[in-house]
Amino acid sequence: IVIRFAVEMALRGFPLTHRRLKEHVDGIVRARLGDAFPATGVGKNWTDRFTEKHRTRLSTYWSHSLDNKRG
């Protein structure tokens, strides 16, 4: 579910940040586990480990600011 969502968002031109990926996963797990899921959500390194584990389908890139000199 998570990989499919991440790939679909990237194909639509909205690649996920680590923060947005964490928010999405927190929402899924919280919906399934309810109060048994910690309020802090998944750990701070979870997205790094997840993208590394699924590196054949997901990649990480540094973003660049838009050039403000172009029209």
pTM for the predicted model, two decimal places: 0.78
Query: DSSP string of 55-68?
Result: TTT----------T
Two tokens at 19?
A: 């923060």
> Which has the closest alpha carbon to 1: 44, 52, 50, 60?
50
Does the structure show a pLDDT above 80 at 71? no
pLDDT digits (tens, 9 = 90+) for 8-49: 999 999 999 999 999 999 999 999 999 999 999 999 899 999
Q: Which of 1, 51, 8 is nearest to 27 (CA)?
A: 1
